[in-house]
Amino acid sequence: MKILVTGGAGYIGTHTCVELLESGYEVVVIDDFSNSNMGSLNNVMKITNKDFKFYEGDVKDKALLEKIFNENKIDAVIHFAGYKAVGESVLKPLKYFENNLLSTINLCEVMQKYNCKKLVFSSSATVYGDPVTLPIKEDAKVGATNPYGRTKLMNEKMLADLYNSDSDFSIIILRYFNPIGAHKSGLIGENPNGIPNNLMPYIVKVATHELEVLSVFGNDYDTKDGTGVRDYIHVVDLAKGHIKALLKALSEKGIKYYNLGTGQGYSVLEIINAFERVNNVKVNYKIVPRRPGDIASCYADPTKASLELGFKATYGIDDMCRDSYNYAINNK
């Protein structure tokens, strides 16, 4: 069975490719390397000792998508490709709407043309906006607080309309909470270009002296220590969740929504303290004003994914901190 992975050279994409290959699937990857590189795909091959097809290019490029579907009998698609930085989306909303929406539109048009109607879509907990109640269930009110989140929400609504128009589709929408960590091999992990937008790679770059100080955005939220609380999930757990979602997509039609998280919230300062303790390093940080679009707390109710997908996160926060640092040390 052949699976197309868009954005497959990225952080979550590479880990999911590993799980797919180790589960016996054939993999085809498309990526434009806007926030990744070929080295990460080479390392996927090293970890799995398996080869796969790769196409360099943009998912908005319909001609390239046509070429991929012409040259391969694609059975299902896992769609990761998209911009993902909340802060940047506030500054450059049009860039985000153009990229994140048009890539999905073009992909779904080509999938429909080639009668490939199994899709796992990479969404985000940002679609819940500032949650009214915690933990967050899948039927909670949605309404994003930043352009990035709105592109995910608009994609979700678009995919729901697509299913309503063509009930042969099977669409699984995965709302991720906060993926961190890295593969145990230390060969793949998160290494964004420039100053990171997400907490863990920022912590890592300060711990390895690549950056001088970590900016903690706000300490006046209504949380246990004033810093933002999030549900952090190990990226390998998240990747395994995609295998479970794919099985669901292959076995039944419909559109379904699942949270992928642990159900446990940790504050920014708790993550910093855990990282320092587990890795025996010091992380210099400073408190700076809140970031636009950020919220106080966000953590999942993972019950539905457990009952319907058989998915449960297995790694704890110590594993996430240890594996993140191990990857950084291996790749300095």
pLDDT, one tens digit per residue, over 182-234 is: 999 999 999 877 778 789 999 999 999 999 999 999 999 999 999 999 999 99
Give yes or no for a contact between 6 and 79, defined as CB atoms under 8 angstroms apart.
Answer: yes
Residue 66 has phi, psi (to 5 degrees) of: -60, -40
* pLDDT tens profile 17-59: 999 999 999 999 999 999 899 999 999 999 999 999 999 999 9
Looking at residue 145, what is its pLDDT?
86
Mean pLDDT (whole number) for 78-104 = 94
Structure tokens at 113: 């043309």
Rounded CA separation 121/304 (Å): 17
The 3-state DSSP class for residue 71 equals: helix
Residue 121 has phi, psi (to 5 degrees) of: -110, 135
* pTM, full prediction: 0.96
DSSP state of 292: T
Rounded CA separation 17/7 (Å): 10
Across the beta sheet with 76-79, the strand order is 53-56, 26-31, 2-6, 76-79, 118-124, 170-176, 254-260
148 is catalytic: yes
Rounded CA separation 136/142 (Å): 10
* Domains with residue ranges and CATH for the chain: 2-181+232-261 (3.40.50.720)
Catalytic residue from among 148, 176, 266, 325: 148
Strands in 32-185 per DSSP E: 53-56, 76-79, 118-124, 170-176, 178-180
Mean pLDDT (whole number) for 54-67 = 98
